[in-house]
Amino acid sequence: MPTSARPPLPVATATPTPASIQSTIAAARARIEAQLKSQGIQPNTPSHPTELHPMLRGDYKPNKHSTQRATLPVSSIKANQQKPKLLKITHEAPSSLTDPAQNPYFDPSLNRRTYGPQTRRRHKQFHFVAPGQYVEQAERKRAEARMEQLKQEIAERAELARLEDEVLDASAIQLPEPPQVEWWDAPFLSEASYGSDAKIEGPESLCTIYIQHPVPIEPPLAIRSQGVAPAQLILTHKERKKIRRQRRLEQQRERREKVMLGLLPPEPPKLKMSNFMQIMANESVPDPTKLEAEVRRQMQARQNKHEADNQARKLTKEQRHEKIEAKTKADEEASLVRAVFRINKLEHPRHWHKVSVNAQQMHLTGKAISCPVGFSLVVVEGSAKNIKAYKKLMLRRIDWTMSQIDADQGATDDYTGNECHLIWQGEIDHRKFKQFRQHTCPTETQAKKWLARAKSDELWQLAKQYDPNDSITALDPFA
């Protein structure tokens, strides 16, 4: 297969110089003019000199960093060689155009940028705000405001303490000098001195034969109610919760302020299973299982501390008894009440037990007398609160119609129609019974004898005359 002939290698030529280019152009021009003459055509000789292109002259050097196409002033026409002259303002604009006060067409409601020389507005660049910058500024301002408020409160307390010290200072208290004559003695003296004559008789004297009766003024409520002060204001459940919430918020605010001032160490974060991942988000956790165990340990420690504090605050058995006794004594000092009950039959063992045990537990004193012949009588004395609870026991809770079965004989005692009535209730000055006792009396004489020891034998006669069907003697037990 014949091989193709390779093209000849280009021969290196010398770089043309401006002089060689000019000579080549002149030779070409002369050759063209000779051809035109041989054909009978006269060449047009230009009336104006022509210039050579800068690239042909060899003095054009393009910019390597420029991305735009170079536009060079190449012209062969005289009109194109003349550049338009720019109009230059050599004088300033009149003040009637620049001064809004002298401009009759100026509208002050418009923006001031609408008059005067206009300048081209520069394009603003984007300035991105770092995350949390405004939050930090707000927190800083809040902290400064709280600090100023705390300083103001401290200054007010210091000023108040200083004023109290000045008031309590004995040297600051100056008693006024006693007058020459007291105001209540001045009308009875002829001169402003105690050594002058007294004006007891005469038309100018205040002493007359008439008696002046002052206008009676009602005493305060505490004196009218025989020393019993008005009851304390009782708050509702919502009001108590609101006061407790406000008190706890105030305590928490004071603690935070002390932590901000450095008086107390800050509390560690309270880790729980629901929030420990958010709290530990900024920290590396190489062992999540270990972290979970630590969180559970802290939760158990808080629970144990809570239970230990409750157990420490819990009163002992002796302290509870002392508290109950102190409260009962306070209630008795406020008011001491006696109540008398009339029962048709008081022979059932359960009835005896309930009447006796509840009276002792409520710190009541009195007597329970059972008389099989007629009726039974129960007298109790104590505080108003305990008497109210004992009335509910006697009149509501105990079933007086419950029958009793005799296991030995197999007989049943019928308690149908057995009732309990409150026949008297009122306040007393002091207790007449030292403790609560039970007695079974076969006759009325023996029952009166037991009541006479406490000077209360008239209660038996009152119970004997009581008629539950009489609307006049019947009492409302819970009025």
Give the per-residue pLDDT at 220. 63
**Model confidence at 12, in pLDDT bands (50, 70, 90)?**
very low
How many alpha carbons lie under 13 Å from residue 311 in its C-beta half-sphere?
A: 6
**Model confidence at 411, in pLDDT bands (50, 70, 90)?**
low
pTM as predicted: 0.44
Instruction: Provide the total of helices (H) and of strands (E) in the chain, helices listed first.
Output: 14, 7
Give the per-residue pLDDT at 11. 47
Mean pLDDT of 456-463: 89
Weakest-pLDDT range from 89-103, 298-312, 375-389: 89-103
Q: Are 52 and 46 in contact (CB under 8 A)?
A: no
Specify the higher pLDDT residue, 328 or 166: 328
The answer, yes or no, to whether residue 162 has pLDDT greater than 60, is yes
Give the per-residue pLDDT at 474. 65
How far CA 434 is from CA of 341, 416, 425, in Å, comes to 19, 34, 19
Mean pLDDT of all residues belonging to the chain: 80
User: What digits encode the pLDDT tens for the residues 319-356?
Assistant: 999 998 898 888 888 889 999 999 998 888 899 999 99
The answer, yes or no, to whether residue 138 has pLDDT greater than 90, is yes
Cβ–Cβ contacts within 10 Å for residue 388, how many?
14
Give the per-residue pLDDT at 208. 82
Give the per-residue pLDDT at 86. 63
User: What digits encode the pLDDT tens for the residues 351-375?
Assistant: 999 999 999 999 999 999 998 888 9
Q: Are 195 and 180 in contact (CB under 8 A)?
A: no
**Amino acid in position 152:** Q
Mean pLDDT of 274-298: 85
The answer, yes or no, to whether residue 450 has pLDDT greater than 60, is yes
How far CA 348 is from CA of 114, 211, 273, 353, 359, in Å, comes to 111, 71, 61, 9, 17
Tell which residue, 225, 224, 243, 248, has the closest CA to residue 233.
Answer: 243
The top-scoring range by mean pLDDT among 14-18, 24-28, 235-239 is 235-239
Q: Please state, in angstroms and rounded to a whole number, the distance separating the CA atoms of residues 390 and 364.
A: 9
